[in-house]
Amino acid sequence: MRIDSALRTYLETFRLPGEAQKINRIMESFGKHYHTQCPGLFKHSDGVYVLAYSVIMLNTDQHNDQVKTKMTVEEFIRNNRGINGMCVLVFLCVGCM
């Protein structure tokens, strides 16, 4: 399953809390589980965590009316370059089988 689909499935089961520390722990847990289920995609669970957290931040950026300047695709890719030594688009297009 691709990481974006896995994250969507995971987050459909509950509402994320507003506290950053709780979100951090939830995303760490997701990262460890996804890395276990798809061991060949990421070198470490930290890479899954960083990308998943970044996707949540992108979602907030795109759908929050209080954010006046929206992040572009180029900015998102630049912010996440080097995760696992690869382009972020690879992870959004490839999933474990």
Regions in the chain scoring below 50 on pLDDT: 94, 97
Residue with tokens 């760490």: 28
Return the pLDDT at 69. Answer: 92
* Catalytic-role residue among 12, 19, 28, 74: 19
The yes-or-no answer on residue 12 being catalytic is: no
Structural domains in the chain plus CATH codes: 3-93 (1.10.1000.11)
The amino acid that residue 18 corresponds to is G
Q: Residue 4 in contact with residue 48, Cβ under 8 Å?
A: no
Q: Which tokens belong to 58?
A: 């992108």
Task: Output the pTM of the full model.
Answer: 0.81
Residue with tokens 């297009």: 93
Q: CA-to-CA distance for 3 and 6, rounded, in angstroms?
A: 5
Q: CA-to-CA distance for 55 and 49, rounded, in angstroms?
A: 10
